[in-house]
Amino acid sequence: MAYPEMMVKPMRDEVTQLGVTELRTVAAVDQALSDQHGTALVFVNSVCGCAAGGARPALAKALTAATKKPEHIYTVFAGQDLDATSRARSYFGEYQPSSPSAALLKDGEVVRFIHRHEIEGRSPDQIASELLKAFETYCA
Amino acid sequence: MSGHVFHPGHDDLHGITVVVTGASGRSYLGRWHEQGNRGVVMKNVAIHDPASAELPLDGWLAKQAKFGIASTEKMYIVPPEEFTEVRLFAG
């Protein structure tokens, strides 16, 4: 069940104000991720507490601190933009749906997936550290 | 764990992914919701049954950790007599 947009907008804004491109339609997802070259991070946003307390602040910290970043950074909103999220997940191969989560893709393949179970109960600094490790490993 | 509870009124494990060990030998992997008279209520649960699983428990858990939880049950209640212990999945 989707939440009222007025409630969700601040959660969207918290991510897009970082310069992250929000993908809200299937067409937008396909345009971004089909025939994808280089590196792209897809942040799967969520209304849940571990997105508010962990994942979104961690994304902000990681993008601020990173010396290497994905060439493209996208977000979809699970539970809100259902079709777009489902389509984004179709690019994640055998990785199971999870929200919040973050998928780092390189040339169309997931090279690091941070699942919800790696986010919940952890501090933003701990989660950001995992993102930064992935950026250092796979991004130019 | 940070100790931060996002959902007032629930216990510390609420919303956290855990492994519940069953007296039957089955293991239940999913998000802890609550524990009450009915047992442990879990959400988005994958179940490892050693009698039918393709992988031993450790290998199965490692696969779930890497690729995410392949849940088969939207909600599952582990009865009190089945519940033996719980541990965090992420460790």
- Residue-level pLDDT, tens digit, chain A, 140 residues: 788 999 999 999 999 999 999 999 999 999 999 999 999 999 999 998 899 999 999 999 999 999 999 999 999 999 999 999 999 999 999 999 999 999 999 999 999 999 999 999 899 999 999 999 999 999 99
Which of A11, A56, A120 should one mutate to test binding to chain B, selecting the residue with the greatest count of B CBs within 10 A? A120
Contact assignment for B90 to A113 by CB distance below 8 Å: no
Nearest CA in chain A to B2: A121
pLDDT of residue B3: 40
How does DSSP classify residue B10? S
Report strand pairing: B73-78 vs B39-48. antiparallel
What is the complex's ipTM, to 2 decimals? 0.87
A49 φ/ψ angles, rounded to the nearest 5 degrees: -65, -35
pTM, 2 dp: 0.91
Distance in Å, alpha carbon of B44 to nearest chain A alpha carbon: 10
Nearest CA in chain A to B12: A121
